[in-house]
Amino acid sequence: MKLLLEGYERFRGQTWPRLADIYRGLADGQSPRILVISCSDSRTDPATIFDAAPGELFIVRNVANLVPPFEQGEGFHGTSAAIEFAVTALKVQTILVLGHARCGGCAAALAPETLNPGSFLATWVTLLEPAKQRIAHVHGDKHEALEHESIKVAMENLRTFPFVAEALDAKRLSIVGARFDIATGVLEMYDAERNTFSPLH
């Protein structure tokens, strides 16, 4: 709690005066143009990486930046609800799936025996199964391969949501993928035409 309160003190003393006008302007509503789906990992904060101001990014964070395929029925679909709100109510123009290096969620999917059977986490990372199957032939760095492939699967799963497909067809929305390398701070962007990730510098 000490860490939080000290941070809040810095926020009120230094950050708030600088951003007060922006916050006041946002008090009546938000209109972010970008939805970011990123990992809960403490090292991959999208607002930090993209130097974003309040109101600019609508962010969903979960373990391993996953998007479940569209499914109907009851249940607490937290990630799907946020995607639905961002696309249908906020009408974001871009969805970024932001993965990262050294992802613990991807590592857990590669070593499922380390997870408690039946735990929320064990069930959640089964969403990585399609990506795991696609990298089965990889002999090199399986972690990096899975981090890349899972971003692509999340992008594909986004298209299974009818309201996302509709916005894509109407060219109101685009979906992009990227992976953040924690040790170097470099962002790799997914190039769909070449089916590869290329670093930005």
Name the residues that contact Zn ion, by CB under 5 A: 39, 41, 103, 105
Q: In the complex, what is the shortest distance from the CB of residue 109 to Zn ion, in angstroms, rounded to a whole number?
A: 11
DSSP assignment string, 10-75: HIIIIIHHHHHHHHHHHTT----SEEEEEE--TT--HHHHTTPPTTSEEEEEETTS--PPP--SSS
Comparing CB distances to Zn ion, the nearer of 121 and 168 is 121
Residue matched to tokens 């991807």 = 106
Comparing CB distances to Zn ion, the nearer of 80 and 150 is 150
Q: In the complex, what is the shortest distance from the CB of residue 83 to Zn ion, in angstroms, rounded to a whole number?
A: 18
Q: In the complex, what is the shortest distance from the CB of residue 179 to Zn ion, in angstroms, rounded to a whole number?
A: 10
Comparing CB distances to Zn ion, the nearer of 103 and 167 is 103
CB 135 within 8 A of CB 129: no
Q: In the complex, what is the shortest distance from the CB of residue 114 to Zn ion, in angstroms, rounded to a whole number?
A: 15
Q: What are phi and psi of 57, to 5 degrees?
A: -120, 130
Comparing CB distances to Zn ion, the nearer of 83 and 103 is 103
Residue matched to tokens 């997914």 = 190
